[in-house]
Amino acid sequence: MPCTNRPIYNVTQDSEIPLIGCISFGVIDRGTNVLQIRPTSICVLSCIFCSTDAGPCSRWRQTEYIVELDYLLSTIRTVLKIKNSNKMEAHIDTVGDPLTYPKIVDLVHKLSEFPEFKVISLQTHGVLLNDKLIDELAEAGLSRINLSIDALDENLSKKLSGTETYDISRIISIAEYISLSPIDLLIAPVWVPGLNDHEIPRIIRFAKQIGAGKHWPPLGIQKYEAHKFGRKPPKVKPMTWYKFYNSLRALERKFKVKLVLKPSDFNIFKLPSIPIPFKRFEKVKMKVVGPGWLKGEKIAVARNRTITIVNAENIPIGTTVYARIIRVKHNIFIAKLE
């Protein structure tokens, strides 16, 4: 299938689409002191293991979203009032790459003005970073970059990124530059068994050598998981959690570095979630307001939340429907038409 770009939907205050409820944009509160901030869904890479099927080579996506900055900030303000804690972390993670957000520096700067946020972190593969942008993000108040480096080998890193132009030598220079900046660096490879096993020790050595992790752990190795709508490299079988943690412990002993991480390593703790206005299996009247993220989906609105209707291909935008809520976890809502 040829790789293409998809239409971008601008989620603005005028769109009347709430920024809570959808996995692909807005704000996600999973009942801790961390708010996940998702200003964009776009990605420029097409990693062959991507759990969110992002990038130009996506098979399942039909729409990308960009959220208006002021609208995002007003939702964050509302959520922070409910969370009522001054030990919050803003984690800009997204289902793509946050650096595709045109106002990423402004966003970080505005987040740093909220007294509730003590930490502002960002998850990226780094291809859109450069020294000037790193300086600007540091100046704006970014505390940590979680930088995904999945292989140091040139050919393998290209293969894993699904992108011919991916240049690992540039990413290495960027990692070195971050490690010398006021921003903390955490290197976060995805361990894809059978593909980058030999790279994991090299990445650990590299993280130690450049002095990653001054305030937080230097590495956050992630386990590859096969997701229903994610990309699955052929012949790759996910490791069991048992094997994954055993392997990390063996590497910890060998390299004398912390690899098995706990929420407390990042000062993450439980904090009551904002109210969840639906019950699972409830039938709800909702207004269909826009295209859904994945093919066949539409987004709808009820009770100040956005709901994804998964089987709404033929439902026109602007109509009102009754749909059954089938998922309510963490204020992310999925509904089905019956």
Comparing CB distances to ligand SF4, the nearer of 53 and 184 is 53
Per DSSP, 14 falls in state: G
Cα 51 to Cα 58, 219, 230, 274, 304: the distances in Å are 11, 20, 4, 26, 28
The one segment of 15-23, 45-53, 244-252, 318-326 that binds ligand SF4 by CB under 6 A: 45-53
Tell whether residue 46 is a contact of ligand SF4 (CB under 6 A).
yes
Beta bridge partners of 187: 147, 219
In angstroms, give the least distance from the CB of 37 to ligand SF4.
15
Instruction: Out of 24, 32, 40, 52, point to the residue binding ligand SF4 (CB under 6 A).
Output: 52
10, 13, 14, 17 alpha-carbon torsion, rounded to 10°: 70
For every residue of 95-123, DSSP letters joined together read: SS-GGGSTTHHHHHHHHHTSTTEEEEEEE
Least Å from the CB of residue 320 to ligand SF4: 34
37 membership: H or E segment, kind and range = strand 34-38
User: What end-to-end distance do the CA atoms of the chain give, in Å?
Assistant: 32
Q: Which of 40/75 has CB closer to ligand SF4?
A: 40
Minimum separation from the CB atom of position 317 to ligand SF4 (A): 27
The single residue among 96, 213, 220, 290 that binds ligand SF4, judged by CB under 6 A, is 96
Asked if 159 interacts with ligand SF4 (CB under 6 A), we say no
Q: Which two tokens stand for residue 330?
A: 């963490």
Q: How far is CA 70 from the centre of its chain?
A: 20
55 contacts ligand SF4 (rule: CB under 6 A): yes
Provide CB contacts within 8 A for 78, sequence distance 6+: none
From the list 43, 107, 175, 186, which residue makes contact with ligand SF4 (rule: CB under 6 A)?
43
The phi-psi region of residue 112 (left if phi > 0; otherwise alpha if psi is between -120 and 50; otherwise beta) is alpha
Residue closer to ligand SF4, measured from CB, 33 or 157: 157
Taking the complex as a whole, the smallest distance from the CB of residue 335 to ligand SF4 amounts, in Å, to: 25
Cβ(290)–Cβ(15) under 8 Å?
A: yes
Binding string, residues 97-136; x marks residues near ligand SF4 by CB under 6 A: x---------------------------x-----------
Smallest distance from the beta carbon of 255 to ligand SF4, in angstroms? 25
Work out how close the CB of 133 gets to ligand SF4 at its nearest, in angstroms, rounded to a whole number: 16
In the bound state with ligand SF4, the residue whose beta carbon lies nearer, of 72 and 127, is: 127
Find tokens 């309510």 and name the residue. 328
# residues contacting ligand SF4 (CB under 6 A):
11
Stretch that binds ligand SF4, among 44-52, 80-88, 103-111, 257-265 (CB under 6 A): 44-52
Q: Which is nearer to ligand SF4, 46 or 75 (CB)?
A: 46
| Dist CA 243 CA 250 (whole Å) | 10
Residues in contact with ligand SF4 by the rule CB under 6 A: 43, 45-47, 50, 52, 54-55, 96-97, 125
